[in-house]
Amino acid sequence: MQKRKHRYDRNSIILCALVFFVITATAFCMIVDGREESARKREQEARQNQELEQSRAEEQADAKAEKERAEALSVRPGVPVGTLQPDINEKAVYLTFDDGPSENTQKILEILRKYDVKATFFITGFCEEYRPLIRQAYEEGHTIGLHTYSHKYEEVYASEEAYFADLEKVGKIAEEQIGFVPCFVRFPGGASNTISAKYNKGIMSQLTEKIQEKGYQYYDWNVDSGDGAGNSKEQIVAASATDQYSHAMILFHDGRSKEATAEALPQVIEYYKNLGYEFRAIDRESFAAHHAVLN
């Protein structure tokens, strides 16, 4: 009995030791796991904080870049815009579109996106339902310019005051969509138009001077696609494709009736790409094509 009792006592001791070992080992593992989990949490929090800081820094950088872009493209009286003497060693093409936005503007934006090229849109007050396309075009990196609100020659060229009243109206449309009034302008008919003389002798001579005094710059063109005359796709391509200029500024239209323009655009883009031209949206340093003023 005494031996059996000793054996039981020894077994109890061993059992207790095993239980103690298991409890101790479990506690140790729990402590280790807890420390590892805490370390993982700290590492995760540090990574999240780093990503948050990086995201904030990127947002601040984007906001700064957007502010600088808006300032560079907006009207600033007394600050020169454009150059009449571009670098002839460069090969640049400016795709410019008048009379939009319209349903054709969306088609043109899709084509520009596909080919990864930038353009300039001289907007009007037409087609109110398509005005959000102005903002879309700007956000996709294109330049917004001012054409006219009404495009009625008898109204906009009636007087200097009438012209700038119209320009102010279309400028407000731009401001509503992109947050500022652009400094880029295209006259209806271009600076060389003579139709304006029917309504006011000498008006273009006055406007081409005054508009620059007010902080704008006007842009004519040196290549006319002919789409304003209702030309076919083939005619538009033929008229638009030329290597005559180191800086080609092409006149297109994106108004409601200009389906042929959208149809011709891919071939025009491919033509200039094959010749090694760089596609540019107009900016403050861009070539400003000026026609001879005839009124």
290 domain-assigned: no
Q: Please indicate, yes or no, whether residues 29 and 107 belong to a single structural domain of this protein.
A: no
Q: Please indicate, yes or no, whether residues 117 and 214 belong to a single structural domain of this protein.
A: yes
Q: Please indicate, yes or no, whether residues 55 and 154 belong to a single structural domain of this protein.
A: no
For the chain, how many structural domains are there in total?
A: 2
Query: Residue 81, Cβ neighbours under 10 Å: how many?
Result: 23
168 domain-assigned: yes
Residue 222 has pLDDT above 90, yes or no: yes
Residue 2 has pLDDT above 60, yes or no: no
103 domain-assigned: yes
Q: Please indicate, yes or no, whether residues 103 and 44 belong to a single structural domain of this protein.
A: no
In angstroms, the CA 251 to CA 96 distance is: 5
In angstroms, the CA 98 to CA 255 distance is: 7
DSSP code of 200?
-
86 domain-assigned: no
In Å, what is the CA distance from 2 to each residue of 10, 11, 15, 221? Answer: 12, 14, 20, 118
The confidence score (pLDDT) of residue 289 equals 97
78 three-class SS: coil
Average pLDDT over residues 9-35: 67
Task: Name residues whose C-beta falls within 8 Å of residue 109's C-beta, 6 or more positions apart in sequence.
Answer: 133, 136, 137, 140, 142
Q: Please indicate, yes or no, whether residues 168 and 251 belong to a single structural domain of this protein.
A: yes
Q: Please indicate, yes or no, whether residues 158 and 243 belong to a single structural domain of this protein.
A: yes
By percentage, how much of the chain surpasses pLDDT 90?
A: 75
Residue 3 has pLDDT above 60, yes or no: no
Burial (CB count within 10 angstroms: exposed 0-12, middle 13-18, buried 19+), residue 291: middle
In Å, what is the CA distance from 234 to each residue of 239, 272, 274? Answer: 9, 16, 18
Residue 7 has pLDDT above 60, yes or no: no
Q: Please indicate, yes or no, whether residues 235 and 106 belong to a single structural domain of this protein.
A: yes
The confidence score (pLDDT) of residue 10 equals 64
Q: Please indicate, yes or no, whether residues 98 and 187 belong to a single structural domain of this protein.
A: yes
Q: Please indicate, yes or no, whether residues 40 and 111 belong to a single structural domain of this protein.
A: no
Q: Please indicate, yes or no, whether residues 63 and 184 belong to a single structural domain of this protein.
A: no
Domain that holds residue 57: 1-73
The confidence score (pLDDT) of residue 27 equals 64
pLDDT in tens, 114-146: 999 999 999 999 999 999 999 999 999 999 999
188, 214 Cβ separation under 8 angstroms? no
Residue 112 has pLDDT above 90, yes or no: yes
